[in-house]
Amino acid sequence: MAMIKPMPRIIHRSKHEGCVREIVDVGDVRSLHFGSKAKQSSMSLQNPHTLLLSYTRAMMCCLLFVPEPHSALLIGLGGGSLAKFLHRHFEDCHLDCVELDETVVDLAHEYFYLPQDPRIAIHIADGADFLHYAPTRFHGYDLILVDAYHEDGIAPSITQSQFIADCRQRLAVGGILVLNLWRRSVEFPGLLGLLRHHFGYIDLIPMMDKGNTIALAMDFAPGIKPELLRQRAQTLKQRFAIEAPQFLRQRQTVHISPSGK
Protein backbone atom coordinates (compact mmCIF):
# COMPACT_ATOMS: atom_id res chain seq x y z
CA MET A 1 0.00 0.00 0.00
CA ALA A 2 1.49 3.32 -1.06
CA MET A 3 2.15 5.83 1.67
CA ILE A 4 0.20 9.06 1.46
CA LYS A 5 2.52 12.03 1.14
CA PRO A 6 1.78 14.87 3.54
CA MET A 7 0.34 18.00 1.97
CA PRO A 8 2.43 21.20 1.98
CA ARG A 9 1.27 23.78 4.48
CA ILE A 10 2.31 27.42 4.12
CA ILE A 11 2.93 28.73 7.63
CA HIS A 12 4.36 32.12 6.62
CA ARG A 13 4.15 34.29 3.53
CA SER A 14 5.43 37.83 3.18
CA LYS A 15 6.88 40.15 0.58
CA HIS A 16 9.96 42.32 0.97
CA GLU A 17 11.05 44.71 -1.78
CA GLY A 18 9.05 42.70 -4.30
CA CYS A 19 10.45 39.31 -3.26
CA VAL A 20 8.10 36.70 -1.81
CA ARG A 21 9.25 34.82 1.29
CA GLU A 22 7.45 31.56 1.99
CA ILE A 23 7.95 29.03 4.77
CA VAL A 24 6.36 25.67 4.03
CA ASP A 25 5.92 22.63 6.25
CA VAL A 26 5.69 19.19 4.64
CA GLY A 27 5.44 16.59 7.36
CA ASP A 28 8.53 16.95 9.56
CA VAL A 29 10.37 19.21 7.10
CA ARG A 30 10.18 23.00 7.16
CA SER A 31 11.64 24.88 4.17
CA LEU A 32 12.32 28.48 3.21
CA HIS A 33 11.51 29.58 -0.35
CA PHE A 34 12.23 32.85 -2.12
CA GLY A 35 9.35 32.98 -4.56
CA SER A 36 10.06 29.63 -6.23
CA LYS A 37 10.11 25.88 -5.55
CA ALA A 38 13.84 25.99 -4.83
CA LYS A 39 14.63 25.43 -1.16
CA GLN A 40 16.84 28.09 0.39
CA SER A 41 16.93 26.16 3.69
CA SER A 42 15.32 23.06 5.13
CA MET A 43 15.01 21.87 8.71
CA SER A 44 13.70 18.82 10.49
CA LEU A 45 11.23 19.95 13.14
CA GLN A 46 12.21 17.02 15.35
CA ASN A 47 15.97 17.43 14.81
CA PRO A 48 16.50 21.11 13.96
CA HIS A 49 20.33 20.95 14.09
CA THR A 50 20.60 18.20 11.47
CA LEU A 51 21.82 19.27 8.03
CA LEU A 52 18.99 18.05 5.80
CA LEU A 53 20.20 19.32 2.42
CA SER A 54 23.06 17.34 0.91
CA TYR A 55 24.95 20.40 -0.27
CA THR A 56 25.13 21.78 3.28
CA ARG A 57 26.62 18.47 4.44
CA ALA A 58 29.14 18.64 1.60
CA MET A 59 30.10 22.17 2.68
CA MET A 60 31.02 20.72 6.07
CA CYS A 61 33.73 18.63 4.41
CA CYS A 62 35.88 21.64 5.29
CA LEU A 63 36.08 19.93 8.70
CA LEU A 64 38.30 17.32 7.06
CA PHE A 65 41.00 20.00 6.92
CA VAL A 66 39.98 22.17 9.91
CA PRO A 67 38.54 19.67 12.43
CA GLU A 68 38.09 22.19 15.27
CA PRO A 69 37.26 25.66 13.90
CA HIS A 70 37.42 28.56 16.33
CA SER A 71 35.98 31.23 14.03
CA ALA A 72 33.78 31.24 10.96
CA LEU A 73 32.34 33.89 8.67
CA LEU A 74 29.07 32.99 6.95
CA ILE A 75 28.01 35.00 3.90
CA GLY A 76 24.29 34.40 3.37
CA LEU A 77 22.19 33.19 6.29
CA GLY A 78 18.98 31.71 4.88
CA GLY A 79 17.34 29.66 7.60
CA GLY A 80 20.64 29.45 9.48
CA SER A 81 21.33 25.73 8.97
CA LEU A 82 25.12 26.06 8.87
CA ALA A 83 25.18 28.56 11.72
CA LYS A 84 23.06 26.30 13.94
CA PHE A 85 25.23 23.30 13.13
CA LEU A 86 28.52 25.03 13.98
CA HIS A 87 27.06 26.68 17.07
CA ARG A 88 25.72 23.37 18.35
CA HIS A 89 28.79 21.21 17.80
CA PHE A 90 31.74 23.58 18.26
CA GLU A 91 31.39 25.40 21.55
CA ASP A 92 34.61 27.41 21.09
CA CYS A 93 33.66 28.66 17.62
CA HIS A 94 32.56 32.29 17.17
CA LEU A 95 30.32 32.97 14.18
CA ASP A 96 29.95 36.17 12.17
CA CYS A 97 26.89 35.88 9.92
CA VAL A 98 26.37 38.42 7.14
CA GLU A 99 22.90 38.71 5.62
CA LEU A 100 21.65 41.50 3.35
CA ASP A 101 17.98 41.14 4.25
CA GLU A 102 17.02 41.75 7.87
CA THR A 103 13.65 40.06 7.34
CA VAL A 104 15.47 36.80 6.54
CA VAL A 105 17.26 37.04 9.90
CA ASP A 106 13.91 37.49 11.66
CA LEU A 107 12.53 34.40 9.89
CA ALA A 108 15.60 32.36 10.85
CA HIS A 109 15.11 33.22 14.51
CA GLU A 110 11.33 32.76 14.59
CA TYR A 111 10.77 29.74 12.34
CA PHE A 112 14.13 27.96 12.10
CA TYR A 113 15.20 28.29 15.75
CA LEU A 114 18.46 30.17 15.14
CA PRO A 115 19.69 30.91 18.68
CA GLN A 116 20.10 34.39 20.09
CA ASP A 117 23.60 33.92 21.49
CA PRO A 118 26.75 36.04 21.92
CA ARG A 119 28.68 33.48 19.87
CA ILE A 120 26.52 34.33 16.84
CA ALA A 121 26.99 37.89 15.63
CA ILE A 122 24.57 39.00 12.89
CA HIS A 123 25.66 41.74 10.48
CA ILE A 124 23.07 43.26 8.13
CA ALA A 125 25.15 44.06 5.06
CA ASP A 126 26.10 43.01 1.58
CA GLY A 127 28.65 40.21 1.92
CA ALA A 128 31.12 41.77 -0.50
CA ASP A 129 30.92 45.15 1.24
CA PHE A 130 31.44 43.54 4.64
CA LEU A 131 34.54 41.68 3.48
CA HIS A 132 36.03 44.78 1.89
CA TYR A 133 35.16 47.46 4.45
CA ALA A 134 34.74 45.73 7.83
CA PRO A 135 37.29 46.70 10.51
CA THR A 136 40.52 44.74 10.62
CA ARG A 137 39.38 42.86 13.72
CA PHE A 138 37.15 40.80 11.41
CA HIS A 139 39.92 38.63 10.05
CA GLY A 140 41.78 35.40 10.74
CA TYR A 141 38.78 33.15 10.08
CA ASP A 142 39.31 29.40 10.07
CA LEU A 143 36.31 29.09 7.73
CA ILE A 144 34.51 31.40 5.34
CA LEU A 145 31.27 29.80 4.13
CA VAL A 146 29.51 31.43 1.18
CA ASP A 147 25.93 30.44 0.34
CA ALA A 148 24.56 33.68 -1.07
CA TYR A 149 21.56 33.19 -3.32
CA HIS A 150 18.37 35.11 -3.93
CA GLU A 151 15.32 34.49 -6.08
CA ASP A 152 17.26 35.17 -9.30
CA GLY A 153 20.32 33.06 -8.51
CA ILE A 154 23.72 33.76 -7.04
CA ALA A 155 24.32 37.23 -5.59
CA PRO A 156 26.21 39.21 -8.28
CA SER A 157 28.66 40.80 -5.83
CA ILE A 158 30.28 37.48 -4.95
CA THR A 159 31.14 36.73 -8.57
CA GLN A 160 33.74 39.52 -8.62
CA SER A 161 37.50 39.12 -8.34
CA GLN A 162 37.62 41.58 -5.44
CA PHE A 163 35.27 39.41 -3.40
CA ILE A 164 37.44 36.30 -3.80
CA ALA A 165 40.59 38.32 -3.05
CA ASP A 166 38.99 39.76 0.11
CA CYS A 167 37.97 36.26 1.24
CA ARG A 168 41.57 35.11 0.91
CA GLN A 169 42.82 38.09 2.88
CA ARG A 170 40.33 37.54 5.73
CA LEU A 171 41.26 33.87 6.21
CA ALA A 172 43.65 32.63 8.87
CA VAL A 173 46.75 30.73 7.83
CA GLY A 174 45.44 27.29 6.93
CA GLY A 175 41.87 28.60 6.65
CA ILE A 176 39.39 27.47 4.00
CA LEU A 177 36.96 29.30 1.75
CA VAL A 178 33.87 27.18 1.03
CA LEU A 179 31.40 28.17 -1.68
CA ASN A 180 28.10 26.68 -2.75
CA LEU A 181 28.13 27.03 -6.54
CA TRP A 182 25.53 26.16 -9.18
CA ARG A 183 27.47 24.47 -11.95
CA ARG A 184 24.73 25.04 -14.53
CA SER A 185 24.89 28.80 -14.08
CA VAL A 186 26.65 31.12 -16.48
CA GLU A 187 28.77 32.40 -13.57
CA PHE A 188 30.29 29.01 -12.74
CA PRO A 189 33.28 29.00 -15.15
CA GLY A 190 34.22 32.55 -14.21
CA LEU A 191 34.05 31.86 -10.49
CA LEU A 192 36.17 28.76 -10.88
CA GLY A 193 38.69 30.85 -12.79
CA LEU A 194 38.78 33.42 -10.00
CA LEU A 195 39.41 30.70 -7.42
CA ARG A 196 42.24 29.34 -9.55
CA HIS A 197 43.73 32.84 -9.75
CA HIS A 198 43.59 33.68 -6.05
CA PHE A 199 44.13 30.30 -4.34
CA GLY A 200 46.76 27.61 -4.56
CA TYR A 201 44.59 24.53 -4.00
CA ILE A 202 40.94 23.80 -4.82
CA ASP A 203 38.75 20.77 -4.17
CA LEU A 204 35.42 20.47 -5.96
CA ILE A 205 32.63 18.24 -4.67
CA PRO A 206 29.86 17.89 -7.29
CA MET A 207 26.47 16.86 -5.94
CA MET A 208 25.49 13.82 -7.97
CA ASP A 209 21.74 14.37 -7.49
CA LYS A 210 21.73 18.15 -7.75
CA GLY A 211 23.23 20.98 -9.76
CA ASN A 212 25.34 22.18 -6.84
CA THR A 213 29.10 21.95 -6.71
CA ILE A 214 30.90 22.75 -3.47
CA ALA A 215 34.29 24.43 -3.84
CA LEU A 216 36.87 24.30 -1.05
CA ALA A 217 39.69 26.77 -1.69
CA MET A 218 42.92 26.93 0.29
CA ASP A 219 46.10 28.95 -0.02
CA PHE A 220 48.34 25.90 -0.02
CA ALA A 221 47.86 22.20 -0.58
CA PRO A 222 47.02 20.65 2.80
CA GLY A 223 49.76 18.36 4.05
CA ILE A 224 47.36 15.68 5.26
CA LYS A 225 47.98 12.03 4.45
CA PRO A 226 45.14 10.24 2.61
CA GLU A 227 44.74 7.74 5.45
CA LEU A 228 44.17 10.56 7.95
CA LEU A 229 41.60 12.15 5.62
CA ARG A 230 39.75 8.83 5.42
CA GLN A 231 39.80 8.54 9.21
CA ARG A 232 38.42 12.07 9.57
CA ALA A 233 35.74 11.30 6.99
CA GLN A 234 34.59 8.31 9.05
CA THR A 235 34.51 10.53 12.14
CA LEU A 236 32.26 13.05 10.38
CA LYS A 237 29.97 10.23 9.30
CA GLN A 238 29.70 8.76 12.78
CA ARG A 239 29.54 12.04 14.69
CA PHE A 240 27.36 14.17 12.42
CA ALA A 241 25.73 11.77 9.90
CA ILE A 242 27.65 13.51 7.10
CA GLU A 243 28.45 11.15 4.23
CA ALA A 244 32.02 12.45 4.11
CA PRO A 245 33.57 9.18 2.84
CA GLN A 246 31.33 9.40 -0.23
CA PHE A 247 32.10 13.08 -0.72
CA LEU A 248 35.81 12.33 -0.39
CA ARG A 249 35.53 9.83 -3.23
CA GLN A 250 33.59 12.32 -5.38
CA ARG A 251 35.98 15.23 -4.93
CA GLN A 252 37.93 16.61 -7.84
CA THR A 253 41.19 18.39 -7.09
CA VAL A 254 42.09 21.34 -9.29
CA HIS A 255 45.86 21.41 -9.73
CA ILE A 256 47.32 24.89 -10.03
CA SER A 257 50.88 25.49 -11.16
CA PRO A 258 53.02 27.88 -9.05
CA SER A 259 53.03 30.35 -11.94
CA GLY A 260 49.27 30.18 -12.30
CA LYS A 261 48.51 32.76 -9.61
Q: Annotated catalytic sites, by residue? A: 147
CA distances from 216 to 58, 101, 113, 139, 250 (A): 10, 26, 28, 18, 13
Q: In angstroms, rounded to a whole number, what is the distance separating the alpha carbons of residues 17 and 97?
A: 22
Alpha-carbon distance of 182 to 40, in angstroms, equals 13
CA atoms of 163 and 130, how far apart (whole Å): 10
Distance between CA atoms of residues 152 and 64, nearest Å:
32
- Segment holding 213, helix H or strand E: strand 212-218
Q: Which helix (H) or strand (E) holds 23?
A: strand 19-26
